[in-house]
Amino acid sequence: MRRFDTILWDVDQTLLDFKKSEDYAVRFCFRKFGKEAADETVALYSAINESFWKRIEKGEIRKKEALVGRFRQLLEKIGEEDIDAEMFQKEYAQALGSVYYYQDNSYELVKRLKEEGEYRQYLVTNGVSLTQRNKLHLSGFDKLVEGIFISEEIGMPKPYKEYFEKSFSMIPGFCKERAIIVGDSLSSDMKGGNNAGIATCWYNPSGLTNTSGVKVDYEIKNLNEIWEIVQK
Q: Is 10 a catalytic residue?
A: yes
Which listed residue (10, 17, 23, 189) is catalytic? 10
Do residues 49 and 19 touch, judged by C-beta distance below 8 A?
Answer: no
pLDDT average, residue stretch 37-47 = 97
Which residue range forms the structural domain that includes residue 92? 18-96
Tell me the HSE value of 140 on the side-chain side, using a 13 A CA sphere: 10
Q: Are residues 116 and 11 in the same domain?
A: yes
Domain total for the chain? 2
Q: Are residues 136 and 121 in the same domain?
A: yes
Residue 33: which CATH number? 1.10.150.240
0.85 exceeded by the pTM? Answer: yes
For residue 25, give Cα distances in angstroms to 14, 15, 91, 95.
18, 18, 8, 5
Instruction: Give per-residue pLDDT as tens, 125-180.
Output: 998 899 999 999 999 999 999 999 999 999 999 999 999 999 999 999 999 999 99
pLDDT average, residue stretch 32-61 = 95
Q: Are residues 43 and 138 in the same domain?
A: no
In the chain the first and final C-alpha atoms are separated, in Å, by: 8
Do residues 216 and 186 touch, judged by C-beta distance below 8 A?
Answer: yes
Residue 172 within a domain = yes
Q: Are residues 57 and 160 in the same domain?
A: no
Q: Which of 165, 210, 222, 167 is closest to 186 using CA atoms? A: 210
What is d(CA 136, CA 11) in angstroms, rounded to the nearest whole number? 9
| Last residue in a domain, options 43, 77, 96 | 96
Q: Are residues 51 and 33 in the same domain?
A: yes
